[in-house]
Amino acid sequence: MIKPALVLVACLGSAALPLHAQGLRIPGSGSGPSLMLPPASAATTSSTASQRQADYIVAVVNSEPLTNNEVRARALRFQQQAAQQGQAAQLPPRDIFLGQVMERLISEKAQLQYAREIGIKIDDSQVDNAEANIAAQNQLSVADFRRRLSSEGIDSTRFREDLRGQLILQRLRERDFEQRVKISDTEADQFLLEQNATVDATRLELNIAQILIAVPETATPAQVTELQARAQRAYERARAGEDFAALARELSSAPDARESGGAMGLRTIDRYPELFTDAVRTLSTGGVAAPIRSGAGFHVLKLVEKRQGGGIDSTVVENHARHILLRIGAQMTQAQAVERLAAIKRRVQAGGDFAALARETSQDGSAKDGGDLGWSRPGQFVPEFEEALEKLAVGQVSDPVLSRFGVHLIQLLERREARLTQREQREIARNMLREKRLDETYANWAQDIRARAYVEMRESPQ
């Protein structure tokens, strides 16, 4: 499955959302059917075909036209996103859906017009960087990413213009709104008390991944012993740093192992077998439990994620990592950096010293320390780096990771849970409350901009 992009595309039903709350999933790699808009009725198919080819104006926003093709392109992306999130069935009927998309675009155009009036601009290099980051998150080159968009009916030029628009709106939000919202210590403390008052132990949520080594009911003692040994070997490989999802696809007998990599999804503890929750109870996030036996066979379990429903967590997962950074520029292209770091990874996997290689090759200030970054908490690194780091098991080395700083090779050394101080919990509460108020403030402003815009409706989108 293609990874979610980090930026782009506001959600239906909201006047405007911050980029961290938005998201576009790029269409799948071809393993499933291509996603298109729901077909029109037989009576209208022929009459709308020529309209789609010719395109036409559906609305005018302060003298700027909005075309049918713009609506259809955005609708297609919303639909693809909904399908990948398992929410396609929740979309409204086609005519209502297209009307909602059109209204979303009208609101966006009005906001972008205001942003241009006050001089906010995003140049091509900023769009290039954002596009490259999205492509990298999908493990594609920019050229392959554009071909993927084209294969799914998304025009790359239109995609870049939409990306530019979202970056402009983000800049507008940062410039005109983020400084307005201030949260006092008293407000943060009160919010923290209110959140913690909702804590319910039964709402603890876990995401557990498993490798199931099935034991047939007719298995002989010798066969059981052999299967148990197989489970033990899987456990040892996972503990040694091999990718758990890859091991699950290779070894697990669970029916969905190939698709999910063994992950069973975030769910409350009462929706897991007690045998499983007991096995992972003492694990830190990312930890792997020794094989356990059930009626189905032997299970090797990994605690992928743990979240307390309600309240604000009093603990946080910390990572101790090191990396090698190669910067992209006139001396080295992105492709060259990726190729070089892939070769370094192979050397490390063959027994090479990561720290020595970091001192020799890394272009980061941490090179003198063998690339050691020390202990870190969520939010300290750029999203691309953190996403890759969180997926690593202890001892594991990532594939090359592209960020705004260059291309990284990351190794996770240790992982632990740390208790937050009262001050740190207050800051989390402050940020949550601030983000909530900022969203409300921005949404109200966007509604006002939409209300003041002159909008002439022409034809319904098809």
- Residue 116 makes CB contacts below 8 A (sequence gap 6+) with 168
Query: Is the model's pLDDT at 9 over the cut of 60?
Result: no
Residues 400 and 371 reside in one and the same domain: yes
Give the model's pLDDT for residue 12: 30
Q: Cα dihedral sign for 74, 79, 81, 87?
A: positive
Give the model's pLDDT for residue 251: 92
Query: Residues 205-233: pLDDT tens digits?
Result: 889 999 999 998 889 999 999 999 999 99
Q: Supply angle C-alpha 15, 18, 23, rounded to 5.
A: 95
Residues 326 and 304 reside in one and the same domain: no
Average pLDDT over residues 248-275: 84
Give the model's pLDDT for residue 288: 94
Give the model's pLDDT for residue 421: 83
Residue that finishes a domain, picked among 269, 284, 308: 308
C-alpha span between 171 and 215 (Å, rounded):
57
Residues 261 and 362 reside in one and the same domain: no
* Range picked from 177-181, 244-248, 307-311 for highest mean pLDDT: 244-248
111 or 383, higher pLDDT: 111
Give the model's pLDDT for residue 201: 54
Residues 241 and 158 reside in one and the same domain: no
Range scoring the smallest mean pLDDT among 172-181, 278-287, 305-314, 403-412: 305-314
Q: Residue 65: pLDDT band by 50, 70, 90 thresholds?
A: very high
Residues 274 and 335 reside in one and the same domain: no
Give the model's pLDDT for residue 27: 28
State the total domains in the chain: 3
Backbone angle region of 119, left / alpha / beta, with phi > 0 → left and psi within -120 to 50 → alpha: left
Residues 302 and 323 reside in one and the same domain: no
138 or 38, higher pLDDT: 138
Residues 329 and 296 reside in one and the same domain: no
Q: Please give the share of the chain, as a percent, with pLDDT higher than 70.
A: 84
Output the average pLDDT for the chain: 81
128 or 422, higher pLDDT: 128
Q: What is the CATH number of the domain that holds 224?
A: 3.10.50.40
In the DSSP assignment, the letter for residue 25 is: B
Alpha carbon 178 to its chain's center: 23
Range of the domain at 327: 315-419
Residue pair 456/59 in contact (Cβ under 8 Å)? The answer is: yes
Question: Could you tell me the pTM of the whole model?
Answer: 0.50
Give the model's pLDDT for residue 313: 67
Query: Residues 384-423: pLDDT tens digits?
Result: 899 889 888 889 999 999 888 899 999 999 988 888 888 8
Residues 166 and 220 reside in one and the same domain: no
Average pLDDT over residues 2-31: 31
C-alpha span between 194 and 311 (Å, rounded):
8
Range scoring the smallest mean pLDDT among 6-15, 142-151, 335-344, 361-370: 6-15
Q: What is the CATH number of the domain that holds 114?
A: 1.10.4030.10
Q: Residue 29: pLDDT band by 50, 70, 90 thresholds?
A: very low
Residues 159 and 282 reside in one and the same domain: no
Give the model's pLDDT for residue 40: 35
C-alpha span between 211 and 233 (Å, rounded):
11
C-alpha span between 138 and 219 (Å, rounded):
43
Residue pair 80/71 in contact (Cβ under 8 Å)? The answer is: no
Q: Cα dihedral sign for 246, 250, 251, 257?
A: positive
C-alpha span between 267 and 280 (Å, rounded):
14
Average pLDDT over residues 358-374: 96
